[in-house]
Amino acid sequence: MSSIINGSSTVPLIAGSQELLDDALIFYTNVLDFSEHSKKDNCVFLANRDQVVIELKLDPKKGNSAREVKERRKEILSKLNIVDWRSLDTTFVFKVGNLVDTIEILNSFKYTLQITPNELYPNEAYCVDPLGYIIGFTACNEPLTVVPPLQKANPKTDTSYLPSAMMSTTGSFSKLSESLQLSTNSLKPRRNIAIMTSGGDAPGMNASVRAVVRAAIFRGCKAFAIKEGYEGLVRGGEKYITEMKWQDVRGFLSDGGTNIGTARCMEFKKREGRLKGCRHLIEAGIDALIVCGGDGSLTGADLFRSEWPSLIAELKEQKEISEEQYEKHKHLYICGMVGSIDNDMATTDSTIGCYSALERICRAVDYIDATANSHSRAFVVEVMGRHCGWLALMAGIATSADYILIPEKPASSQDWQDQMTTIVKNHRAKGKRKTIVIVAEGAITLDLTPISSEDVKNVLVDRLGLDTRITTLGHVQRGGTAVAFDRILATVQGVEAVKAVLELEPDTPSPLIAIDENKICRRPLVEAVKITKSVAAAIAEKDFEKAMSLRDSEFKEHLSNFIAMNSACHDEPTLPLTKRKTIAIINIGAPAGGMNSATYAMATYCMSRGHTPYAIHNGFSGLSRHESVKSINWLDIEGWNSVGGSDIGTNRKTPEETDIGMIAHYFEKYKFDGLIIVGGFEAFISLHQLEKSRPMYPAFRIPMVLIPATISNNIPGTEYSLGADTCLNALMNYCDIIKQSASATRGRAFVIEAQGGNSGYIATYASLVSGAQASYVPEEGIHLTQLQMDIDSLREAFALEKSTTKTGKLIIKSSNASQVLTPQVLADIINAECKGEFDVKTAIPGHVQQGGLPSPIDRTRADRFAIKAVQFIEDHCDLMEPVRYAIDFSQDGKKYTETAAVLCLKGSHLRFSSIRRLYNFETELSKRMPKKVFWSKTRSIADDLVGRNRYKPVEEISH
């Protein structure tokens, strides 16, 4: 280290108390690696190997007291990212060997830093030392030189990558790490984290690699990629085990497959192969491994960790590693993420890639559906799923297939043929022109005889005489870019995986990062793999009941729903006559993907139970003005599951805005026993109005349910609304295309406007899945300081990426983030500020975000939610019947208010919440928003993974 201030090599510092002097000694010796040279009177002289001397003098009269230091620090920190600290006072700047590592060390001590020009491309870094002085660091000989973030070094042999301020007198970095641990006590050491993709590739794996690499770097760790899966681990060397820098994963979000490769490796299954892998990880300095793959890959990872103590001991005994390496790498920390299109891992609702594969299947079946209808043909579609029928089941639900064959629910050879032909024959007799049968590749009979697509075709031809074709989708299901859900899942799980390996202790079991409903959680990896393998074993043993019991409850629920909906037009209803009800469905608000799916599921499930389903067309205004009530016929809604928009019509009028008395009259006329409302915030208000009108209008004393459906996802009480996923996919695809255009023209950025009303949900998640440089939402507005910081970040990014590919940048603005700063105004401001270094254009997708075919997630969730809504009405009809016409009906009775509810997905729970409670306590009516924003952490993740500097008000800044 050498001072670069006025060429001076001595830095005089004054402490106001002995305590402050001691704190300064710890800071400069432990953090900056000075050593005590000599003492004289009240002075302590510190020196380093570059002959830089710090004179620490104790002088209570001239030095600041502890209180004054605290106030000075608070004042300086309040100007973070507002004022350049260098302008506040005399600043001492030290030259270091590697600024990035110095920043990491200071971050580990929880020092607030001002980094110029930004954290991603640091040139200088400043902090406030224990005495209140502003201390700076740079790796440049000239302060204006920009240091590229990519600095290669071999951690085994090259000590030049260490900043000279951090080199101990013996040149040992491990001893510095020890001193850091001792001085900080509770602070955990930084770990070198590697990411590996293994097994079959799955869309979204690249997003997980990007998330792990950038999250690791953001947390002050080094990130590595092990290429070609376990094959690369066994082979080792820089070709296969590569340190990854921030820019190395640029563009990964929109790439399909896995860019770091995957391969099957038989050698790793042997101890000799795992011994090689152990040595190669130690040579690379890696002590934490994150594996993204299927159950086989994760089994290998956990075995590797369990054997690690014996493997590393053997390497030490054979003298292939040093004593220091042995001590440093005694423990291996492993975390798993499931990348599999089959969605066959137990203890998690979804695996990375499964919904992308499902989207490919649904799209293919949608195309096939049109041809089948044109020619009145039957199609047999074979999908993947050797031991798990999830893809076939969900595709069957999403596309309203006539029949599915999955390994978890086999029948005898005769039974499945009889069942299928009966169902298809009945569907045809009702007027259906097409037949779709979906077969999982692992479909079997009760005696484990495989059922091939050819077998299914022969039955349809021989028994029913149908013109039948076979379509085997094969590896098309694996291909293409990941859908929005898989990008989100892979990203948030990758961030959580990095957090997990940093928190792991040697005796902590390896975790699996899972998702339960809408919540990311950790599960024991060994237990998850064990249950998963038990399913295949149970099937092999013909214990199909056990196999089904080991599947998660949602799988069994979906299967039950499919069977119920599929039997709507031909089987005898399951309820007795006395239990059958008249249930209506209505759409309120703007159209959203999944509305038609909800209508289809509600009607078919009602038919299977014996209820009479009604559709109220064109909302409450259609009912009050035109008596637009019509019973639902099975053939009329055939195929609605895969149709976008709202075929029964929708508008934004609430009951009080039309004629609530007339609405009550028609409810009474048709004797509705239950009502299902599908819609957004207007639907939420409508349910509240109906519920509070119960004392006056007995017709509303029936169970009523709201299924949230709005692209804004702004319904209080729930974290998911139908249509949000469809909208997000449409916007994501739009952003991918625009980003491609921006990349083709050097130095171009686009400002894209997203819909969403006063909710920034869509803009936030679109930013996450597209890798946008910044996003602006109504909850935060557009602060001019933040805008200036984003412009500076764009200028620096374009300057540093001038010679690279995929340099297009996106800025996403929610339409209501600012009424003044429109996309065009933002583009004009940025163009004016960037001084011709790049150019900015606007792109406004508009109502494209509301249209299109509903995504598989919205289709299947709509079916699930609609059926739960019908079940809710069934469960509460008896409760409301005695008070239906009671004169003394009590509005305040809790048991009655609970019968008007919103179907809410919150964290890991799916439940019904009272509209009265949500309206009174969780709603910001003036903003048409819930009071609590549940996705704020996602904004932080999106910003952190693109290196965005965030403006923070003074009150949010802490030491």
Question: Which residues participate in catalysis according to the annotation?
Answer: 342
265 contacts 234 by C-beta, under 8 angstroms: yes
Is 478 marked within a binding site? yes
Is 386 marked within a binding site? yes
Is 22 marked within a binding site? no
Is 297 marked within a binding site? yes
Instruction: Specify whether the backbone of 889 is left (phi greater than 0), alpha (psi in -120 to 50) or beta.
Output: beta
Paired with 224 in beta bridges are 194, 243
738 contacts 786 by C-beta, under 8 angstroms: no
Question: CA torsion sign, 134 to 137 to 143 to 146?
Answer: negative
Is 651 marked within a binding site? no
Is 441 marked within a binding site? yes
In this structure, the dihedral spanned by the alpha carbons of residues 536, 538, 541 and 545, taken in order and rounded to 10 degrees, is: -130
Is 741 marked within a binding site? no
CA distance 271 to 274: 5
Coil, strand or helix at 437: strand
Is 433 marked within a binding site? no
Is 641 marked within a binding site? no
Is 539 marked within a binding site? no
Burial of 157 (0-12, 13-18, 19+ CB in 10 A): exposed
Coil, strand or helix at 947: coil
Is 295 marked within a binding site? yes
Is 115 marked within a binding site? no
Is 622 marked within a binding site? no
Is 753 marked within a binding site? no
Q: What six digits make up the tokens of 530?
A: 């064990």
Three-state helix/strand/coil letters over 872-896: HHHHHHHHHHHHCCCCCCCCCCHHH
Is 385 marked within a binding site? yes
Residue type, 415: D
Q: What six digits make up the tokens of 784?
A: 């001019």
Is 294 marked within a binding site? yes
Is 266 marked within a binding site? no
Is 469 marked within a binding site? yes
The number of angstroms, rounded, from the C-alpha of 122 to the middle of its chain's C-alpha atoms is 29
Q: Which of 935, 928, 521 is nearest to 728 (CA)?
A: 935
Is 755 marked within a binding site? yes
Is 322 marked within a binding site? no
Paired with 47 in beta bridges are 35, 53
Is 418 marked within a binding site? no
762 contacts 724 by C-beta, under 8 angstroms: yes
CA distance 52 to 844: 57
Burial of 739 (0-12, 13-18, 19+ CB in 10 A): buried
Is 255 marked within a binding site? no
Is 748 marked within a binding site? yes
Is 475 marked within a binding site? yes
Coil, strand or helix at 590: coil
CA distance 500 to 509: 11
List the strands of the sheet with 114-117, edge to edge: 2-3, 91-95, 134-138, 122-128, 114-117
CA distance 233 to 242: 11
132 contacts 68 by C-beta, under 8 angstroms: yes
Is 710 marked within a binding site? yes
592 contacts 710 by C-beta, under 8 angstroms: yes
CA distance 385 to 443: 8
Q: What six digits make up the tokens of 644?
A: 């976008």
Q: What six digits make up the tokens of 409?
A: 């629910």
Is 171 marked within a binding site? no
Is 341 marked within a binding site? yes
Residue type, 534: S
Supply the DSSP string of 726-793, one letter for each residue: HHHHHHHHHHHHHHHHHHHSSSEEEEEEE--TT--HHHHHHHHHHT-SEEE-TTT---HHHHHHHHHH
Is 127 marked within a binding site? no
Is 164 marked within a binding site? no
CA distance 400 to 436: 8
- Strands 674-679 and 582-588, sheet pairing: parallel
Is 417 marked within a binding site? no
Is 711 marked within a binding site? yes
Supply the DSSP string of 214-253, one letter for each residue: HHHHHTT--EEEETTHHHHHHH-STTTEEEE-GGGGTTGG
Q: Which of 500, 414, 512 is nearest to 463 (CA)?
A: 414
Is 585 marked within a binding site? no
Is 714 marked within a binding site? yes
Residue type, 552: D
CA distance 815 to 759: 9
Is 451 marked within a binding site? no
- Upper half-sphere CA count for residue 443 (Cβ side, 13 Å): 26
CA distance 92 to 53: 12
Residues belonging to the binding site for substrate are 340-342, 377, 384-386, 441, 469, 475-478
Residues belonging to the binding site for beta-D-fructose 2,6-bisphosphate are 652, 710-714, 748, 755-757, 841, 847-850, 928
Residues belonging to the binding site are 200, 264-265, 294-297, 340-342, 377, 384-386, 441, 469, 475-478, 652, 710-714, 748, 755-757, 841, 847-850, 928
